Chain A
Amino acid sequence: MPAVPEGIAGHAGVLESDARALAECAERLREIEVRLEAGGAAPPWLYEAVNAHLAACAEAAADLVAASARLRTYAERARP
């Protein structure tokens, strides 16, 4: 049943892509912070909030990469 490993591998591919999407999100967060600071509009709490989001994005991306790798291994081992 080749559909099963391919299905699992499909999830792995999506998660790898999502890890990259999170990296893009982090990049956009940085740009937002820079833009607001440059415009003199950044509230005092923004730096701390954005930093927390950046760290979370990085951690989440790492989690997704790890999960993707595990899924690929699982897909290989699940082949009949």
Chain B
Amino acid sequence: MSEEIDSSGGAVCEEIDPAGAAVSGEGDAAALLREAARELVEIGVAIHDVAAHATAALTDRVALGALPRAPAAGYQAQRALMRAVTNGDGLGYAPAGGRLATLAARVGAMTGAESLAVRVLTTSLRLRIAAVVLDHPELAGDAMLGRLIEAAAADRDLEAIRALRALLRDRGAVRTLSGLAPIFGEVLALRALLDENPLNDAAAWLIATGKGYATADPITGMSNRAVAVLDTGEGAARRVDLSAAEAARLNSHGSLLGFLRNISEVGTTGRMLIQSVEGPDGVVRHVVQVPGMRAGRPDNASPQDLLGAFSSAVLDSSPYSRALAKAIDDYGLPQGAELALIGHSSGGAAIMNLVQDAKFCARYTVTHAVAVGSPIDFKKPADPRTWVASVTNQHDIIPTLDGQGAGGCFDLHPDWYVVDYYDSTHLFPLCHGIEHYIANIADDLPGARDVIDGRLGPYRGVVVRAQAYLLFDRVPYPEGFPFLTVPTYPADTSQGAVELPIRCQNGSSLTAYFASDPGAAAGLLEGTGLGPAVQVGGRALVAVHAAWNRRTSLGGYREVHLGVVVPDPWRSGSLRVWPDLLRNADRRRSGTFLAGSVVDSAAVCAVAPHLWGAEPYLAPLEFRLTARGARVAVGGLVTLCGLLGPGLPASDRDLVGYAGRAGNTLRSCVRTRGSCRVHPLPRVRLTVGQADHPLVRQLHELGLDGARPLLCLSAIARQTLRGAGVPVLTT
């Protein structure tokens, strides 16, 4: 079945049908070249075996042990054998088989010595490249690429490096990689076979002969498995809810494009999706939909990272596939439930790891596996009944990372449905994106789409259930563990029950201490039973505390408080106030009387008086904090802005607040965890507007308009626990 759709940016498709007959859209010449290349591999392997036999004769201990019996004849025999395995005009430098011979071969490789088998494989690789060039005339017409290929094939190192540098300079890394993508494996294998690095020869041999996954980086020779084993973890999955908008965009009816669009919707966010579909026969089956690699750090808590992609491709089992298995187990399927696995990029490699896991396939019946843009050439299904489809763009470099790409001449999986196509988009990573594959399958590959959709027939029904999972390399700590792992209890408010304590997973804060008018401060404390205010140089110490609680059990919100720092209400005037202010909340008696508060969340504004006594104002708040500076704005009323100056590291301090409610005083605590910085020379300045607002009035009365703080504490990342206020008798 051949499919050519290309006229103006369409795709040209080369498919291998399930019956095993290779069919192509590029004509007889390329097929002849590929067939010749495959035959040359057989010849190269046969020559390699011959060299191994000669080496075995040369190193045979029995033969060597008999030398004293016939030294002259033995010496001549050894000399003849030595010539056979080192004659540059014959087998070349060809010690093979056994550890000693491998060592000798590596030493020879370092001097540039080659064997006849390697030279024949080189010819095979060049024929593979020639076949690809017929499909990709842009390669033939590209003088710079041609120069690189010729230099690599002729073992002209310096010229190859110069050609590569010229390419990188002229087009940049992305365009160079994109241009090379269809012949990436072949060029790398050529270089590795012919260069003087003995460590990459085994990987090159595997790529050239198609015998297995490239075990090492073909450039450096660094073991792929050595890198992949860095990706550790038993894998874990937790149910997560998609947002309403995401859930609304999921397909409601099973189809290949629908499943791929779901993968696009879930995105590379560390999540995956399982859907149950009621097929045309009324049977409910399940579709596991797995995205590719997540951008960002090469190794993070998710198996969808770079290391996860690498290990999924190289190893038989990886944290990614183990996490998928746990998600599927959690989904609650009966023994033998029918599954279709759909994956993109590293997700395709991960689902194939499940497909080749005999235990997984004993628990479930994996009927279909569809990998899109994935390196899966050397995966082997445990259940021969699993129908496998692979869709790859020849300019996508990711599927070629196992060493087999557009130039492949081996029918590695005659029973798979393989769609290896190309279109006018040659730029990587654009052509690797799930959206690009979706567009190609939707618009340019209708035949392939029909075939796969046809095979997915039992899954083409109404979606009756869907569940997303967040995947992890290893079982994650409970959220906020251990600080936020505390007993909770409901507290009744006029707004309904609120779960306390309020737990903030991720917040930032800035506290600025000012010297203010003592009379005004005393006025704020009048009748509270608190005070007098803690004084610094005859001025009252006042705090402006601002925080952005990004993720809390009450939702995200910002808050700003104005407070007067007060000593122990029952032992006021004590000299112990300063060390007391440094104590943790559970032992602190001094605190801050909350004179005015503003929050930007209506929910928090409504419950605050019941919980803490203070009656905050609701206003838009701005909070920005970096290591260098801060900006806090309360509507258009108050601004605290500027550089924080040098900071000394410290641990974040708990907060103790006193507030008045109906003649009572409530003491509430905010326990904090995280690091903060103490800024002894802050350059921030408080600017107070002229609006008629209680907070504005208080700040003016305290004389803080235009004031700089004495000291600032900043915490860029912290967690907090905030319980309800407790009434205390202060009078």
Chain A, 5-53, CB within 8 A of any chain B CB: 5, 7-8, 11, 14-15, 18, 21-22, 25, 28-29, 32, 35-36, 39-41, 43, 45-46, 49-50, 52-53
Interface flag for B158 (CB, 8 Å) = no
- Given contacts A32-B40, A56-B119, whether A78 and B69 have CB atoms under 8 Å apart is yes
9-residue interface stretch from B84-92, B423-431, B510-518: B84-92
Contact B60 A7 (CB under 8 A): yes
Interface flag for B127 (CB, 8 Å) = yes
- Given contacts A7-B62, A43-B126, whether A67 and B73 have CB atoms under 8 Å apart is no
Closest to B52 in A: A18
Chain A, 49-80, CB within 8 A of any chain B CB: 49-50, 52-53, 55-57, 59-60, 62-64, 66-67, 69-71, 73-74, 76-78, 80
For B50, B69, B70, the residue with the greatest tally of chain A CB atoms inside 10 Å of its CB is B50
Return chain B residues, CB-CB under 8 Å to A14: 53, 57
Alpha-carbon distance A20/B89, docked complex (angstroms): 18
Alpha-carbon distance A62/B601, docked complex (angstroms): 91
Q: Shortest CB–CB separation between residue A38 and chain B, in angstroms? A: 9
Q: Shortest CB–CB separation between residue B652 and chain A, in angstroms? A: 70
Contact B80 A66 (CB under 8 A): yes
- Given contacts A41-B28, A57-B116, whether A22 and B50 have CB atoms under 8 Å apart is yes
Contact A67 B50 (CB under 8 A): no
Return chain A residues, CB-CB under 8 Å to B77: 8, 67, 70-71, 73-74
Return chain A residues, CB-CB under 8 Å to B73: 70, 73-74, 76-78
Alpha-carbon distance A59/B116, docked complex (angstroms): 11
Contact A60 B87 (CB under 8 A): yes
Alpha-carbon distance A62/B36, docked complex (angstroms): 26
- Of the candidates A45, A53, A67, the one whose C-beta lies within 8 Å of that of B54 is A67
Alpha-carbon distance A11/B500, docked complex (angstroms): 84
Contact B54 A64 (CB under 8 A): yes
Closest to B133 in A: A43
Return chain B residues, CB-CB under 8 Å to A49: 123, 126
Report the interface size class on chain A: 35 or more
- Of the candidates B72, B83, B87, B120, the one whose C-beta lies within 8 Å of that of A53 is B120
Alpha-carbon distance A55/B91, docked complex (angstroms): 10
- Given contacts A4-B66, A66-B80, A70-B77, whether A36 and B91 have CB atoms under 8 Å apart is no
Report the interface size class on chain B: 35 or more
Closest to B87 in A: A63
Contact A36 B116 (CB under 8 A): no
Alpha-carbon distance A28/B83, docked complex (angstroms): 25
Return chain B residues, CB-CB under 8 Å to A18: 49-50, 53-54
Chain B, 469-504, CB within 8 A of any chain A CB: none
Contact B50 A21 (CB under 8 A): yes
Closest to B153 in A: A45
Main secondary structure of the interface of B (DSSP, over half): helix
Q: Shortest CB–CB separation between residue A77 and chain B, in angstroms? A: 3
- Of the candidates A28, A29, A43, A59, the one whose C-beta lies within 8 Å of that of B89 is A59
- Given contacts A70-B80, A74-B73, A74-B77, whether A53 and B123 have CB atoms under 8 Å apart is yes
Contact A28 B69 (CB under 8 A): no
- Given contacts A59-B89, A66-B80, A80-B69, whether A74 and B63 have CB atoms under 8 Å apart is yes
Q: Shortest CB–CB separation between residue A47 and chain B, in angstroms? A: 11
Return chain A residues, CB-CB under 8 Å to B47: 22, 25, 57, 60
Contact A70 B76 (CB under 8 A): yes
Closest to B60 in A: A11
Alpha-carbon distance A70/B726, docked complex (angstroms): 102
Alpha-carbon distance A59/B83, docked complex (angstroms): 11
Interface flag for B619 (CB, 8 Å) = no
Contact A56 B69 (CB under 8 A): no
Contact B36 A35 (CB under 8 A): yes
- Of the candidates B40, B42, B74, the one whose C-beta lies within 8 Å of that of A74 is B74
Contact B83 A67 (CB under 8 A): yes
Return chain B residues, CB-CB under 8 Å to A56: 89-92, 116, 119
Contact A60 B90 (CB under 8 A): yes
Which 5 A-B residue pairs are closest in the complex by CB-CB distance?
A77-B70, A60-B90, A11-B57, A67-B80, A59-B90
**Known interface pairs A41-B30, A77-B72; 6 further A-B residue pairs with C-beta atoms within 8 A, sorted by A's residue number:** A4-B62, A28-B39, A40-B29, A59-B89, A59-B90, A74-B73
14 contacts between A and B (CB under 8 A): A18-B50, A25-B43, A41-B36, A49-B126, A60-B90, A66-B84, A67-B54, A67-B84, A70-B77, A70-B79, A71-B57, A73-B73, A78-B70, A78-B74
A interface, CB within 8 angstroms of B: 3-5, 7-8, 11, 14-15, 18, 21-22, 25, 28-29, 32, 35-36, 39-41, 43, 45-46, 49-50, 52-53, 55-57, 59-60, 62-64, 66-67, 69-71, 73-74, 76-78, 80
